[in-house]
Structure 1
Amino acid sequence: MKKRMTAIMMFGVSGAACAQASISLYGIMDAGITYTNNVVNGQAHGSNWQFVSGSSQGDRWGMRGTEDLGAQQHVDFVLENGYQLSNGALGQGGLEFGRQAYVGLSGPWGALTLGRQYDFVGDQMPAYAVASNTPAGLLAWSLPAYAAGGYALDNRVWGDQVDNAVKYVTPTLAGFSAGAMFGFGNTPGSVARGSTSSLIVNYANGPFGASVAYYGQHDVSGGGNLQEWAAGAAYNLGAARLFGLVTDVRLSDGDRPRATTFEGGLSYNVTPAVALGGGAQYQKRNNGMGSANQFSLTADYSLSKRTDVYAVAALAHDHAFGAQVQAALGGPSSSNTQAGLRVGMRHRF
């Protein structure tokens, strides 16, 4: 009886504590059929029809909570899991909360968060990218991510998490805000080894917004250090949104490879339920690795505030490598061109 009463009392205390906080569940489910031509897979090549989930946006579910401490101070946390709707597998290498897992404090002085979280390039620069201003997703992330026939020069705008990160964002003043982040490498004898750093400055004034961000990483897997600069801007003009982004990624090792990617696009709400979009991307590289370009067109129809169906068409041309029009889940082309088509459905909760 005593043990039972203790358990009931503990449950009551826990319930009272939880009642002081606000916790919400959220998520995204995205599924559809993707077609790409000229795909090389081992000894075979040809057209490829795939059921692909998490293409427009990565499949996820998460918990977001806040506790009011008074005097406009809050405790905030996010636990976010990535998964594949197609087979139920965990994303991010099987991590339980691989997309985000952090806790922090916020108030009139800004916000401080600690844990696994996005650097500022992956956190805020998608606001200026073709892939996230339209439902193109992976079909528009491929060129900047698959630079020079591999992911060593990935521009990270599609989102890459940093472990052991401490991140601070200032309040907005006269339209300006800024942030700084440091990811500890947790290496004995050296603070710098394996560490990451990121900075950002944002400006927003009515329909106009712009950002400049920096990301640096010591001792990347390919060798040397990585540095990236990114700058983007967007302008909302009635039912239309104009956006553009430039990123520059370079490695300090070997022949110091470098890729600079330019992109711009437009999205337009024909009606409250129908949106059309499109964009173009161009990438140049050093060391004689040629250049590449890609074009994307999209159509999106909202069935409700949370559910939409969409279509994407993309065409890529790489002057030095087999083109790859679909990031992560795609395959390189047997030639320097590749086309992709996708029809999908997305639900947010």
Structure 2
Amino acid sequence: MKKSLVIASILGAATGVAHAESSVTLYGIIGTSINFNTNSGGHQLYNLTAGPLQGSRFGFRGSEDLGGGYAATFTLENGYDPTSGKLGQGGLIFGRQAFVGLSSNYGTVTLGRQYDALVDNVGLLATGDQWGGYLQAHAGDVDNFNNTYRTNNTVKYAFKSNGLLIAGTYSFGNVAGNFSQNQIWSLGASYTSGNLSLGVGYLNARNPNISLFGNSTSGTPSAATSNVANSNTRIYSGYSSANTYQVIGAGAAYTIGLATLGATYSNVKFMALGSSSGPNPSNYHGTAAFNNVEVNFKYQLTPALVLGTAYTYTDGSSVNGNAGAKYHQVGVGADYNLSKRTDVYIVGVYQKASGTDSTNHPAVAQITGLAASTTNHQAIASVGIRHKF
């Protein structure tokens, strides 16, 4: 249960100025799972990991009524690994979210480390953000629907009304003399009415190896470190020299009784390969592209139990003689609520790869969040527990 702490009297006593009502909420999630991986670097692996359904976190969310329909708002959200206690997101203390802003009837403007508009409007329609967790994200989360990467230095505008959400973000590159270097921007819209949900979104990141893939670190990614591939998946790490990363995404879901049918699509491009943003051992140039199609189904068998299944196809394009790779992925899952705050679950995912991956080698399977297989197939079963507070 979320705990609300009224702090207006404390602020008033400290400053001697009358304040409108303010509140701060402490919230969080902790989850772990036992996994069986058929091929992790060539070996079977049994291990305990942070639960895949949602990243473990704790955070503070607050607001202050400023009067006249205006309010100040902030969020500080930490990610952590409950199996070891270490910080997530590369050691950042508030690596999931950290922003402050103002809201009114005209929308909300926030500034800081935030989610992009593609995540907000399309990501929630994909299985990875529902019962499947990061294991069911599209190959390597190449389209970022599962929110593997946040954006730093971001100004965000969002407007919500009667099931409609419109959002846009702009992230400053912070490079003197070059306004466009490292900049990121996104746009998105979604609409929910009755049984139908729709979403569209667009994300554009310049120098993505540094600005997007490299921003989960307590250091400062820069051109001096661009010889390192900051993505850790063979699915697209070989395209780290791209000058621009672009994603166009769309999704829909429709509920019929206890069943929900859904689908998402994304087109991902790594454009202007060969820039100084990252390593380019295969001497790529031009554009590498991925098309991702997901169809999913979930069924609310009882008020406490939901069952789900999904299929994802990822088609990588040819680039400079590399014929590209294809990934077929199937997932199943079940989630049972023991209470309003605690649930247990099981998720199973199988992936098969073919073709040539971004490293210019025969493609191997690599389910999101796992070490690569040494063959073209990989499977994992995860049984876990999650508690929300």
Fold in common (TM above 0.5): yes
Q: Which amino acid aligns with 2:133?
A: G
2:254 to 214, 227, 235: 235
2:19 and 2:56 map into 1 onto residues whose CA distance is 28
Q: Say whether the 8 Å CA contact 1:131–1:140 is kept in structure 2.
A: yes
1:17 and 1:268 map into 2 onto residues whose CA distance is 52
How big is the shift at 1:15? 10
2:260 and 2:309 map into 1 onto residues whose CA distance is 11
1:166 to 140, 148, 155: 155
Query: SS in structure 2 opposite 1:257?
Result: strand
How big is the shift at 1:319? 1.0
How big is the shift at 1:38? 2.3
Q: Say whether the 8 Å CA contact 1:30–1:57 is kept in structure 2.
A: yes
User: Superposed, which structure 2 residues align to 1:243-322 within 5 Å?
Assistant: 243-252=262-271, 253=273, 254-287=285-318, 288-320=323-355, 321-322=363-364
Q: Which amino acid aligns with 2:58?
A: W
2:339 and 2:247 map into 1 onto residues whose CA distance is 38
Query: SS in structure 1 opposite 2:122?
Result: helix
CA separation of 1:124 and 1:214: change in aligned 2, threshold 3 A: same
1:333 to 365, 373, 388: 373
Q: Say whether the 8 Å CA contact 1:54–1:84 is kept in structure 2.
A: no
How big is the shift at 1:190? 1.9
How big is the shift at 1:142? 5.4
How big is the shift at 1:10? 8.4
Q: State which drifts further: 228-237 or 300-309.
A: 228-237
User: Superposed, which structure 2 residues align to 1:129-148 within 5 Å?
Assistant: 129-134=126-131, 136-141=132-137, 143-145=139-141
CA separation of 1:17 and 1:270: change in aligned 2, threshold 3 A: farther
TM-score of the superposed pair, with normalisation by structure 2: 0.79
CA separation of 1:17 and 1:52: change in aligned 2, threshold 3 A: farther
2:160 and 2:127 map into 1 onto residues whose CA distance is 28
How big is the shift at 1:54? 3.7
User: Superposed, which structure 2 residues align to 1:60-99 within 5 Å?
Assistant: 60-99=57-96
Q: Say whether the 8 Å CA contact 1:208–1:234 is kept in structure 2.
A: yes
2:18 and 2:145 map into 1 onto residues whose CA distance is 38
Q: Which amino acid aligns with 2:255?
A: N
1:241 and 1:115 map into 2 onto residues whose CA distance is 35
Which residue does the alignment assign to 1:5? none
2:287 and 2:60 map into 1 onto residues whose CA distance is 41
How big is the shift at 1:176? 4.0
Which residue does the alignment assign to 2:187? 199
Query: SS in structure 2 opposite 1:319?
Result: strand
Q: Say whether the 8 Å CA contact 2:349–2:379 is kept in structure 1.
A: yes
Deviation string for 1:234-285 (max 9, x for gaps)? 1122322222111111111124111111101111111111111111100111
2:335 and 2:255 map into 1 onto residues whose CA distance is 18
- Between the two proteins, what is the percent identity of the paired residues? 34
User: Superposed, which structure 2 residues align to 1:6-45 within 5 Å?
Assistant: 12-13=13-14, 20-40=21-41, 45=42
2:297 and 2:17 map into 1 onto residues whose CA distance is 49
Deviation string for 1:8-65 (max 9, x for gaps)? x98932698788311101111110111111221xxxx221111111411111100011
How big is the shift at 1:310? 0.5
Q: Which amino acid aligns with 1:313?
A: G
1:105 and 1:54 map into 2 onto residues whose CA distance is 34
Deviation string for 1:108-141 (max 9, x for gaps)? 111111111011122332221112221x212202
Unaligned runs of 5+ in 2: 1-9, 210-239, 274-284, 356-362
Q: Say whether the 8 Å CA contact 2:138–2:314 is kept in structure 1.
A: no
Task: Give the paired residue count.
Answer: 325
Q: Say whether the 8 Å CA contact 2:31–2:54 is kept in structure 1.
A: yes
Q: Say whether the 8 Å CA contact 1:142–1:324 is kept in structure 2.
A: no
Query: SS in structure 1 opposite 2:78?
Result: strand
1:48 and 1:269 map into 2 onto residues whose CA distance is 32
Unaligned runs of 5+ in 1: 1-8, 146-153
Alignment root-mean-square deviation, CA: 2.0
How big is the shift at 1:339? 1.2
Query: SS in structure 1 opposite 2:161?
Result: coil
How big is the shift at 1:169? 1.5
Q: Say whether the 8 Å CA contact 2:20–2:67 is kept in structure 1.
A: no
2:97 to 84, 96, 100: 100
CA separation of 1:61 and 1:16: change in aligned 2, threshold 3 A: farther
